[in-house]
Amino acid sequence: MGAYDHISDEAVGYTQMDDPNTSQFPELTALFAESPADTDHYDTTSAAGKNQLDRSLIEIVIQDTHAERQRAALRALVALADEYGPSTRFDTAIVAALDDPDPPVRQKAAWAIGRVADSHPESFPASLERLSRVLVDDHYTVRAYGVDAVGRVGREHPSLVADTVNEVITALDDEFVKVRRNATWALGWVGRRDPSVVADSVSALGNALEDVVVVRRTAVWALGLVGGADPDLVTAVTPDIVLQLSDQAPDVRRNAAGTLGRIGQADPAVVSDVRPRLSEIFTDEGELVSVRAMAAVAYWSATDNVTGNLATEGSVPVHDLLAGDYCPSTFLELLATLIAETPSIFAPFVDGLREHRDHDERHARSAVHSALETIEG
């Protein structure tokens, strides 16, 4: 197998996943050929060979007229950038693809921005400058991936996407659910890093709590990221967040409890009146809703020294889950994190946690061992 075979397989395979009837594109696959008969085609051990490969892929993106070949080439360029760093001309290729008349090509270009400009923003100035225009593209999939790119870049570099926030706020009213959902997600990530950048979006995020389930659950989660960074920004919508504790969808109730916990951890005064309401849902049967509620109370207890212990208040659901035949890995990961952060509050559950050191799922085992090492030294 040649050094680039896995990248070729990923690029072509991804295209086929989008359209099972797509051909294998022999022209694209040939770019990665490294049989003994053509070892000079691409010397994958040299910078020159990699640059030649980059140029061939960029030529497909810019000059080809077959949308699926262009999309596959963009995918391959992202895979190369992940492994070897971005090509110096990749930015030019993305901008050209954003002007392509075919929406699927523009969509893949927007997708590429989110996958490479987050870790290499200095290499994609022209693409980042074009993001605002991507957010108002006439095709909804391009807008959806454009908003996603804002979130991916903004979670580490909020200043680079600050001039797109107004368009993202507008996207909260888009007629397509995926665009609205991605807009809430993006605002949450940007606000987590720099809440001032998304200060004008809080009211709109509050309105999104009346949208369909997938948007509501992401909007209430986003308000938690923003409120955890600056609780004062979400004071006006906190009553709306509390209302989500009664939502019919367990995912929304769970995220609402987690959001109130983040806000309360940052400033208990903002949510001081909500603690009794959270206690009421300690026995909520929705997956992890009760755990999130207890986590919220624990955060506030740890922050403002409110007397009380989860061993006597709302602890039964935790003990039941720990002792049950099936203990969800997500629950164990959350509980392990809380025990490591605030062992004085969660001490009553340490023995139960020890019973899951050999949990079937690797992430759960790792979280349990990490928590026990923190506690036991």
The predicted structure's pLDDT at residue 53: 80
Q: Confirm if 112 and 82 have CB atoms less than 8 A apart.
A: no
Q: Which residue type does 73 have?
A: A
The predicted structure's pLDDT at residue 340: 74
Distance CA(126)–CA(132), nearest Å, equals 12
Residue 5 or residue 330, greater confidence: 330
Tokens of 26: 């022999």
Of 186, 84, 67, 86, the residue nearest 134 (C-alpha): 186
Residue range 76-87: average pLDDT? 85
The predicted structure's pLDDT at residue 295: 63
Which percentage of the chain shows pLDDT scores above 90? 44
Residue 302 or residue 65, greater confidence: 65
Q: Confirm if 221 and 186 have CB atoms less than 8 A apart.
A: no
Residue 329 or residue 37, greater confidence: 329
Q: Is the pLDDT of residue 43 over 60?
A: no
Going through 25-184 in order, the beta strands assigned E by DSSP cover none
The residue to which tokens 């079937």 are assigned? 360
Distance CA(127)–CA(16), nearest Å, equals 26
Confidence bin at 46 (pLDDT 50/70/90): low
Q: Give the least confident one: 47-56, 105-114, 243-252, 326-335.
A: 326-335
What's the pLDDT tens digit per position in 166-218?
Answer: 999 999 999 999 999 999 999 999 999 999 999 999 999 999 999 999 999 99
Helices (H) and strands (E) in the chain, counts: 22, 0
Q: Confirm if 295 and 260 have CB atoms less than 8 A apart.
A: no
Burial of 107 (0-12, 13-18, 19+ CB in 10 A): buried
What's the pLDDT tens digit per position in 131-143?
Answer: 999 999 999 999 9
Residue range 77-103: average pLDDT? 90
Tokens of 288: 């992890």
Q: What is the DSSP letter of 195?
A: G
Distance CA(185)–CA(319), nearest Å, equals 33
CB proximity list for 122: less than 8 A, separation 6 or greater: none
The predicted structure's pLDDT at residue 309: 42
Angle between helices 177-193 and 140-154 (to 10 degrees): 10
Tokens of 151: 């979130």
Handedness of CA 8, 11, 16, 22 (dihedral sign): negative
Confidence bin at 225 (pLDDT 50/70/90): very high
Distance CA(290)–CA(321), nearest Å, equals 11
Confidence bin at 35 (pLDDT 50/70/90): very low
Distance CA(85)–CA(99), nearest Å, equals 24
The predicted structure's pLDDT at residue 39: 33
The model's pTM is: 0.76
Phi/psi region, residue 308 (left: phi>0; alpha: psi -120 to 50; beta: rest), is: left
The predicted structure's pLDDT at residue 271: 82
Q: Is the pLDDT of residue 92 over 90?
A: yes
CB proximity list for 285: less than 8 A, separation 6 or greater: none
Tokens of 377: 């030294």
Q: What mean pLDDT value characterizes the chain?
A: 80
What are the CA-CA distances from residue 154 to residues 94, 96, 149, 199, 273 (Å)? 19, 23, 8, 14, 33
Residue range 6-28: average pLDDT? 47
Which percentage of the chain shows pLDDT scores above 70? 73
Q: Is the pLDDT of residue 64 over 50?
A: yes
